[in-house]
Amino acid sequence: MFKRLRMPSLGGATGWLNSEPLGPAELRGHIVLVDFWTLTCINWLRTEPYIRAWSQVYRDDGLIVIGVHTPEFSFEHELDRVRQATKDMAIDYPVAADNDYAIWSAFDNNYWPALYFVDADGVIRDHHFGEGRYKESERVIQRLLGVEREPVGVEGHGVEAEADWDNLRTPETYLGYERSDQFASPNGAVLEERVAYELPERLRFNHWALSGEWTIGREKVMLDQAGGSIAYRFHARDAHLVLSAGAREPIPFRVLLDGGAPGPSRGVDVDEDGKGLLREGRLYQLLREHDAVRERTLEITFLEPGAEAYAFTFG
């Protein structure tokens, strides 16, 4: 598909981190790996340990990794938020901010994450979309560089850990009405209005519901009064939720698992009592099952108004 297709320009970038703007003159003679990402994407987060490792191990051989941050949600357009994410993730390679989707469109890209492997003449020689294929991708890098080594050893931790694919039975679920599905609060959703919702008597598998006063918007649900909750019946080792506090001060929250404290099944963003604090917009890991993975009910309650919830992801 990409035979003899030249790498498009990065000139549409709306900003650069860790580098001055890079163009053909700066990249000429180098092998380039272009990585499309967005800071809340769990699929990208689980690939990032490999991207970091390749950048570090092959940098002296002539590899330049360029992250292209193309935002999915509105708060991901904030360059300071992207800057903080690059720091939190220990990303030291160049990152082009692509707020206008100009680079995304130039590559005719449709996925996060997406990798494009470019040779020293600026020709795209391979690509890969999504997670996996790590050894094969590293072999492509080695072949383009003209080196041959054992693959680097990589192990992800926290949200970067590989998913438990054998036990993952719940899909990514968006909460805003543009892409939402499986909403289970009685009487359904009312769009763009402050409404009091209730949890159903029984939450069905892979369904979610609201309790308290919320406004359901195009890409998110926003809590209008303290004490509102979101519940989800799921089957996975890990449960994550993309959250933002908007312009609010940090918002405390509490996570329950089957009605009780998560204990050792807490995620990295909560303690064993299920307490956490929503500060900046990002993906929060709420649960990581320490025992046999099975169907469970998650409920997150926010103690102050203003919490914005965008999407559940699982692993």
What does the angle CA 67 – CA 68 – CA 71 come to, to the nearest 5 degrees? 130
Find out whether 221 and 214 touch, Cβ atoms under 8 Å.
yes
Handedness of CA 161, 164, 170, 172 (dihedral sign): positive
Q: What integer pLDDT is reported at residue 248 of this predicted model? A: 83
Mind listing the pLDDT tens digit for each residue in 127-183? 999 999 999 999 999 999 999 999 999 999 999 999 999 999 999 999 999 999 999
Q: What integer pLDDT is reported at residue 98 of this predicted model? A: 98
Handedness of CA 267, 271, 276, 279 (dihedral sign): negative
Give the helix ranges, DSSP H, for the chain. 24-27, 42-58, 79-88, 102-106, 134-145
Average the pLDDT over 235-244 and give the result.
Answer: 98
What does the angle CA 291 – CA 294 – CA 295 come to, to the nearest 5 degrees? 140
Whole-structure pTM value: 0.94
Q: What integer pLDDT is reported at residue 3 of this predicted model? A: 53
Find out whether 117 and 33 touch, Cβ atoms under 8 Å.
yes
Q: Are strands 114-118 and 123-129 parallel, antiparallel or unpaired?
A: antiparallel
As to burial, measured by CB atoms within 10 angstroms (0-12 exposed, 13-18 middle, 19+ buried), residue 311 is buried
Q: What integer pLDDT is reported at residue 2 of this predicted model? A: 45
Average the pLDDT over 9-13 and give the result.
Answer: 96
Q: What integer pLDDT is reported at residue 113 of this predicted model? A: 97
Residue 1 predicted with pLDDT over 80 = no
Mind listing the pLDDT tens digit for each residue in 18-72? 999 999 889 999 999 999 999 999 999 999 999 999 999 999 999 999 999 999 9
Q: What integer pLDDT is reported at residue 24 of this predicted model? A: 86
% of the chain surpassing 70 pLDDT: 99
Residue with structure tokens 């790590």? 134
Taking the C-alpha atoms of residue 170 and residue 172, their distance in angstroms, rounded to an integer, is 7
Q: What is the mean pLDDT of the chain?
A: 96
Average the pLDDT over 247-264 and give the result.
Answer: 96
Average the pLDDT over 237-254 and give the result.
Answer: 95
